[in-house]
Chains A and B, each alone.
Chain A
């Protein structure tokens, strides 16, 4: 018997095509007769559109059409939606400002869409866009959440007084206040979670196509969830009924959340394809991506923790201002609420928690889910405050965590979540060993001799993945169910095609899903094909985000169960035995205790010929499908520890060591999981030390709009990570898996900042830790 495939570090099947340039991304697709689109965008942060004159632009040879918000309105095309309803603490529904795909009378951020210019070539479209005269009446702009609710500042939406989309709360306020009254210690921090701009390697792109013969539309798009895109564009925006709209998300080069959303460009290209009678193709320039991809984070928070004399946490209260940008993006409202407040208990048994979140509009790009989505913000708040508590109470940072860990499962937190399983002490201990914590004082002393400030920072994080039982998310305001579906089709010659509603945009599904199937049936890995991303071939799906592949894989398991059961019934007839006596071993269906057997491919052929079993009892063919609704979130957790060294002369900060020990339950492919951890930590270190999306506070211009000003982490910014795994198998899915895609980005920022504040001996410090900021903090100490 060969080594089991599940649990093996199998090389990624998809990488050969990616690294040899043979992937098929949206921009690689060209449709006959296609025209090219260019979007005219607002150069102003906030302005009334008094008049648009496109006459001179339309007269340019090669221009097929110039369409504006008025044309969309005339065709009764609806605006973009936010699909998660949040209610304020007074019971009122959130105030979502109208979000037309092309601005009608007002633009609200730099990059807001004004017109689509469609021409024979992209060059003509750009030239024509320059000839469009837009008469603006400039309005003042507000860009930061702390200013948005002030009187006298710009008001973005008539529907939302004081620029406030909702005022939400979770937890128990009286109990939390009582905890503070009883507290021996109170620890308070002001925290900012910096605005991040996603930078998937592949920029967003869309090709809209209309077939006059069938009356059907096709959209090729960089999406993490093509079925959701179809549903929203059909049911809410009104492009076409679902059966007349095919959405294809081919190879997608990174998403990190930013490709979940249904954006203006894909809606307008699809609609415009019918208007001009040609396919309409748009690919974002990197500059456009900076302006118009949904950004991430941007929270301002005050958090206070109550502790008893021994450092046991009694209560936690948090007030957060969340910057939503100019409009509520597709899932924006869920991020600073149910993906954030529900994680504020961390790994700790905290009796009372109360969180209040005001979500505000500003003249900036919409903010929505970005790798971690709410959980990085929550983890940053919890882990920064716990670390500060350790310092104030003079307790070792590992020890204060130990005193507060949840140790009995299941554990019901005061903020909805029911932790099913975990062993936080195990991952903490493993991480302490990896970093060699015993030798930490020696390393600090040795660095001091060299004139360097060395600091250590902890982050014992928990997050919630899977997104999640449909009834649960429905009760919290989600407009969709969050199950997943799969179809397993065995061919007559014995290969297996798996159609999954999950979408792969870097996660390695083609390998891990194939490991699962090949391992189950004992067939070669290359005999399994994973098909995803096309609403015409995949029965249905909710897509990939929130580290929810465990949901997609469980749907496959459920379909495999059905295939195996049917195969055994067929084998029983062919082998003239009872179905109960058939076993599947090493790719063969055997009659237990005999030498009678059928190879997997022989069974498959029998299923399709139908010669040897009663087809009136058992349908011919071997193809089954399943939907799986998860029973709970999965709760990956672990411990990241960071050590930094700071040059006090320059403020330059180097990560001297970084260890990560994660509990993702059972692991299908350790190499891919490790890759996900590496990538996540890189993004987290990027947030902690380099990345910052900044708008000019007066003009509302994005002043970090290119790689000259927005610093992405490079190889030499990152350390060699030491990573490890601990395992508590997840009880809510048959494979015992938890999510792993976001953990690195969630856990690492507080580890880094805790290390920097330790090195500097300061209490508060804002991300990103640029040399200038670190140097200023050093100067301020003297």
Chain B
């Protein structure tokens, strides 16, 4: 599966950034996300549950970062297992660019699925993953807008590359989003 997209979020990069750095916001925005755990500076784990029609599966995913160029881009390598549902492996490149008062997030994902999910729904994975991405950004944009006050406040408190509220680098939530695309989009097919 290959997927790429560009999302224009109607908020300053700082606001988007702050929201992206809020694990609670991300957890709410990623459909079915139950847990996010940072293992090291370049590794994290996500657990997400997806229920589509009669099928429910819990995916555990692990994401590793490389080609780290904060705050502009990264390569993420993710792998997730859904037990009997199969597995997903993926790689994603992510960039964030300020565009006027808004922020453009560009992503390209290349993923492989295996086992039952590959067998059952290969044909629909692209469309479903795309829809998953759209759903995420719709929800995220709402949440980011709502968090704008806190974001701008935090901005005045400390002008650096990290959120003063959550000492988490930007790549962590982005990687979760991408891992979410790879894993959850695929779970739809099960």
Interface flags, B80-115, vs A, CB<8A=1, else 0 = 000110110000000000000000000000001111
Asked whether, in the complex, the Cβ of B83 is within 8 Å of the Cβ of A696, the reply is: no
* CB of A777, distance to nearest CB on chain B (Å): 22
Interface flags, A87-124, vs B, CB<8A=1, else 0 = 00000000000000000000000100000000000000
* CB of B99, distance to nearest CB on chain A (Å): 35
In the complex, which range does the number of interface residues on chain A fall in? 20 to 34
Contact among A43, A703, A706, A709 with B86 in the assembled complex (CB-CB below 8 Å): A43
Nearest A residue (CB) for B115: A43
Residues 289-311 of A contacting B (Cβ, < 8 Å): 290-291
Asked whether, in the complex, the Cβ of A698 is within 8 Å of the Cβ of B122, the reply is: no
Residues 118-140 of B contacting A (Cβ, < 8 Å): 118-124
Nearest B residue (CB) for A287: B119
Nearest A residue (CB) for B125: A703
For B87, list chain A residues within 8 Å (CB): 43
Question: Taking the complex as formed, is B116 at the interface, i.e. its CB lies under 8 A from any CB of chain A?
Answer: yes
For B114, list chain A residues within 8 Å (CB): 43-44, 110, 699, 701
- For the complex, give the distance between the alpha carbons of A44 and B119 in Å: 12
Q: A110-B114, A699-B112, A699-B114 are in contact. Are A706 and B83 (CB under 8 A)?
A: no
Question: Taking the complex as formed, is A130 at the interface, i.e. its CB lies under 8 A from any CB of chain B?
Answer: yes
Q: A699-B112, A699-B114 are in contact. Are A130 and B119 (CB under 8 A)?
A: no
Interface flags, A116-137, vs B, CB<8A=1, else 0 = 0000000000100110000000
Asked whether, in the complex, the Cβ of A708 is within 8 Å of the Cβ of B115, the reply is: no
Q: A698-B112, A708-B123 are in contact. Are A703 and B83 (CB under 8 A)?
A: no
Residues 697-718 of A contacting B (Cβ, < 8 Å): 698-699, 701-706, 708-709
Asked whether, in the complex, the Cβ of B122 is within 8 Å of the Cβ of A701, the reply is: yes
Asked whether, in the complex, the Cβ of A709 is within 8 Å of the Cβ of B123, the reply is: yes
Interface flags, A310-347, vs B, CB<8A=1, else 0 = 00000000000000000000000000000000000000
Give the B interface residue count (CB, 8 A).
Answer: 16
Asked whether, in the complex, the Cβ of B84 is within 8 Å of the Cβ of A287, the reply is: no
- For the complex, give the distance between the alpha carbons of A703 and B113 in Å: 10
Asked whether, in the complex, the Cβ of A701 is within 8 Å of the Cβ of B119, the reply is: yes
Asked whether, in the complex, the Cβ of A701 is within 8 Å of the Cβ of B120, the reply is: no
Nearest B residue (CB) for A709: B123
- For the complex, give the distance between the alpha carbons of A143 and B72 in Å: 39
Asked whether, in the complex, the Cβ of A706 is within 8 Å of the Cβ of B112, the reply is: no
Contact among A126, A701, A708 with B118 in the assembled complex (CB-CB below 8 Å): A701
Nearest A residue (CB) for B121: A708
Nearest A residue (CB) for B83: A130
Asked whether, in the complex, the Cβ of B120 is within 8 Å of the Cβ of A705, the reply is: yes
Interface flags, A679-707, vs B, CB<8A=1, else 0 = 00000000000000000101101111110
Contact among B84, B115, B116, B123 with A703 in the assembled complex (CB-CB below 8 Å): B123
* CB of A142, distance to nearest CB on chain B (Å): 16
- For the complex, give the distance between the alpha carbons of A699 and B113 in Å: 8
For A110, list chain B residues within 8 Å (CB): 114-115, 118-119
* CB of A48, distance to nearest CB on chain B (Å): 16
Asked whether, in the complex, the Cβ of B120 is within 8 Å of the Cβ of A708, the reply is: yes
Most buried by A among B86, B118, B123: B118
For B116, list chain A residues within 8 Å (CB): 43, 287
For A126, list chain B residues within 8 Å (CB): 84
Nearest A residue (CB) for B124: A708
* CB of B73, distance to nearest CB on chain A (Å): 25
* CB of B78, distance to nearest CB on chain A (Å): 16
For A704, list chain B residues within 8 Å (CB): 122
Asked whether, in the complex, the Cβ of B120 is within 8 Å of the Cβ of A706, the reply is: yes
* CB of B80, distance to nearest CB on chain A (Å): 12
Residues 476-518 of A contacting B (Cβ, < 8 Å): none
Nearest A residue (CB) for B123: A709
Residue contacts A-B, CB under 8 angstroms, 28 given = A43-B114, A43-B116, A43-B118, A110-B114, A110-B119, A130-B83, A287-B119, A287-B120, A290-B119, A696-B112, A698-B112, A699-B112, A699-B118, A701-B112, A702-B118, A702-B119, A703-B118, A703-B119, A703-B123, A705-B119, A705-B120, A705-B122, A706-B119, A706-B120, A708-B120, A708-B121, A708-B123, A709-B123
- For the complex, give the distance between the alpha carbons of A708 and B116 in Å: 13
Asked whether, in the complex, the Cβ of B118 is within 8 Å of the Cβ of A130, the reply is: no
Nearest A residue (CB) for B116: A287
For A701, list chain B residues within 8 Å (CB): 112-114, 118-119, 122
Kindly list the 9 A-B residue pairs having the minimum CB-CB distance in the complex, ordered from nearest. A705-B119, A43-B115, A701-B118, A703-B122, A130-B83, A43-B114, A130-B84, A699-B112, A706-B120
- For the complex, give the distance between the alpha carbons of A43 and B88 in Å: 11
For B118, list chain A residues within 8 Å (CB): 43, 110, 696, 699, 701-703, 705
- For the complex, give the distance between the alpha carbons of A705 and B124 in Å: 13
Nearest A residue (CB) for B122: A703
For B123, list chain A residues within 8 Å (CB): 703, 708-709
Q: A110-B114, A698-B112 are in contact. Are A291 and B84 (CB under 8 A)?
A: no
